[in-house]
Amino acid sequence: MPEYVQKTTFEECDLLIRNASVIDGTGGPISKADVAVSGDEIVGVGLLSCINAQVEIDATELCLAPGFIDAHTHDDWALLRTPDMRFKVTQGVTTVVVGNCGISAAPFRAQEGLPDPFNVTPEVLSSSFETVTDYRRAINDKAPAINVRLLAGHSALRATVMGPDLARAATGEEINQMAEMLDKALTEGAAGLSSGLDYPAAIAAPMEEVVTLARVLRHHPNTVYTTHVRDEGDGVIEAIKEALATGQRADVPLILSHHKCAGARNFGKSKATLAMIDAARMQGEVALDVYPYTASSSALMERFIGAAKDVLVIWSTPHPECGGRTLNDIAAGWDVSREEACAELKPAGAIYFDMDEQDVQRILRHPAAMIGSDGLPGTEKPHPRLWGTFPRVLGHYARDLKLFSLAKAVQKMTGLTAAKFGLIDRGEISVGKKADLVLFDAEEISDLADFDAPEQPAKGIHYVLVNGQITLSRGRQTRTRAGRFLSSQSQ
């Protein structure tokens, strides 16, 4: 561990990180440098030996990177319930994008009887905010440890305007109301629109409905349309085609969420989907996010179990005793089919073992692929991606498997993500950028969370700074909570 020296001399900067191996977030080569921070900004990068600082960190043995940006989360509620956000800070994450897959805490009116994915974690229905301003205020009051970028969810808009019966297309009048709500949300600082067309809450929404809403983004700079496509299994090719066409017709930047090819029949299809994405990138802005595991996690749904060789039930409201058991095992014990067991267990959450390692690696390597955890906080025994995603990419995939260089891995969780989500003053180490920083040991870094013990902080993260404030020091989280709501207007 490096030394952490408090000085009393005259300061020219607040904090000086000395002699770090700087990975600046652009994907360029690693270089030795000192980095100076004053207030919430990086004020110097280079040989700064003559500068005095109130606080110095000797980083001789460590890599210094921009704070990691989690491109895909469902942390909307966790930021308020557990504002220390330990499962993210201990990975080096300093900003989370929330409101993914069509569900966002704002703008949203929670109500009884909403279909999946509103059951994806029990907390989704626990609180909601009719306006982005209300959510931003709640965030500011709670002061979470990390920054927040909010997407407005298509299904949240649908539920608010249409009520719980979502198994139909919205009428023209309802689309107008949703467009108005979305426009207001974006004016109040939302960073885009997300959809989750694979779920009952939105599966009946025709492409036209989504295109009309996505077009609202054109009036708001720095915004993006993200989508959990209509089918990630047998229909993945068609679904990617639809998403790409939606982005093109709306003429807005597109991000494909947690890209995957689920089900043994579809293993290898990532060759085709990535080729389609490459072709579309010649016409418009397209990117994707991915998590570094071959298992997915979501609400327990009949629709998803067919593609999985096994399904681990995490929680079940009517059958809490079944948490931690596999669906095969439960169905055998009850002497019913997997489908019947599934119906009996709902509402429930599950982990699906449904992907191929080669597809995961091919997608991770893609130049437009960002790292997003898609973790689901608020349940016992969550998918380990909630605690392990970022260290796993740096340790397992970059260092051990050499899937890409360390600098490239860092770029996929910093510079690339900041560019795609319009975070213009974050994601890179250079003068004038916000001082979201992480110091880690490249030899030591690894994820410890696994399916048996998923709530394990990672190894090798030594310091985390959020907006210039030391949030993790020598591997331990401090009491400081310096996160902010990052609106699309003012950064």
Dihedral over alpha carbons 163, 167, 173, 176 (to 10 degrees)? 80
How far from chain centre, in Å, is Cα 38? 28
Residues 6 or more apart in contact with residue 463 via CB below 8 angstroms: 57, 62, 437, 438, 439, 470, 472, 473, 474
Nearest position to Cu ion, beta carbon? 101
Binding mask 87-106 for Cu ion (x = CB under 5 A): -------------xx-----
Smallest distance from Cu ion to CB 120, Å: 8
**Would you say 421 or 440 has its CB closer to Cu ion?**
421
Smallest distance from Cu ion to CB 72, Å: 6
73 binds Cu ion (CB under 5 A): no
* Token pair in block for residue 143: 């002061």
Smallest distance from Zn ion to CB 229, Å: 9
**Omega of the bond leading into 347 within 30 degrees of 0 (cis):** yes
356 binds Cu ion (CB under 5 A): no
| DSSP state string for 58-114 | E-TT-EEEEPEEESS---TTHHHHSTT-HHHHTTTEEEEEES-TT--SSS----TT-
Tell me which residue of 140, 98, 141, 136 sits closest to 120, measured CA to CA: 98
* Token pair in block for residue 482: 């310096």
Distance CA 367, CA 155 (A): 30
220 binds Zn ion (CB under 5 A): no
Binding-site size, Zn ion (CB under 5 A): 2
Smallest distance from Zn ion to CB 259, Å: 10
- H or E stretch covering 220: none
Distance CA 399, CA 187 (A): 42
312 binds Zn ion (CB under 5 A): no
198 binds Cu ion (CB under 5 A): no
Binding mask 347-366 for Zn ion (x = CB under 5 A): --------------------
Smallest distance from Cu ion to CB 459, Å: 26
* Token pair in block for residue 485: 């709501």
Smallest distance from Cu ion to CB 383, Å: 11
228 binds Zn ion (CB under 5 A): yes
101 binds Zn ion (CB under 5 A): yes
374 binds Cu ion (CB under 5 A): yes
Stretch that binds Zn ion, among 96-104, 210-218, 248-256, 262-270 (CB under 5 A): 96-104
- Residues forming contacts to Cu ion in the complex (CB under 5 A) are 100-101, 374
- Residues forming contacts to Zn ion in the complex (CB under 5 A) are 101, 228
